[in-house]
Amino acid sequence: MNNYKFDEFIKIAKKLNNIEIIPLLMGSVGLEVVTGKSWDAQDIDIHVPGDKRGWEVPPELNIHNWNEIVNMMNLMEYSLIDLHEHEFSKDGLSVEFGIMDTLPCFAGVPLEDLEMHQTGDVKYYLLNPKQYLSVYESSSKDSYRADNNNNKDIKKIHFLKNRLNVG
């Protein structure tokens, strides 16, 4: 697959692996890897271990090893532009970190069911199509995403339901 956002994710994941974090590639970039279809990803969404309470915890505390991640991203020439969203930017590319530990409550996806993948010596997790469907169905109910991203989510849900042959 020729996808510079995925290639950049692999570079970041390699650095995360170096600090003993195996990330989960989420969002459209991950869905592109899983489906082989372009979803016009706007950013790279990476989930890492954190507090399962998510947003209930202050943003500087809800991701484990946050200070190490910030230092690592700074060394990769990314700038932190939004602490609340854990968003970094470099050369017009946005990378946002989320908390993988919120998946069971948010979308009913048990962490032990995540499938590990490897590209070269880089380890990372990817959702399968059924797990992506659960995430996008849950996301589509979120008022922020419904107002800002619902059309894309609905297209993804429709595609995944057709692929999985579910109503």
pLDDT in tens, the chain (167 residues): 458 999 999 999 999 999 999 999 999 999 999 999 999 999 999 999 999 998 899 999 999 999 999 999 999 999 999 999 999 999 999 999 999 999 999 999 999 999 999 999 999 999 999 999 999 999 887 655 455 555 788 899 999 999 998 76
Count of C-beta atoms within a 10 Å radius of residue 152 = 17
pLDDT score of 2: 55
Cβ burial of 119 (10 Å; 0-12, 13-18, 19+) is: middle
Q: How far apart are CA 63 and CA 52, in angstroms?
A: 9
pLDDT score of 148: 56
Query: How far, in Å, are 59, 124, 139 from residue 114 at the CA level?
Result: 24, 10, 18
Question: Collapsing DSSP states into helix, strand and coil, what is residue 11?
Answer: helix
pLDDT score of 68: 98
pLDDT score of 1: 47
pLDDT score of 83: 96
Pairing between strand 122-126 and 87-90?
unpaired
- What radius of gyration do the chain's Cα atoms show? 15
- Which H or E run includes 68? helix 66-75
End-to-end CA distance of the chain: 30
The torsion angle over the Cα atoms of residues 23, 152, 3 and 120, rounded to 10 degrees, is 20
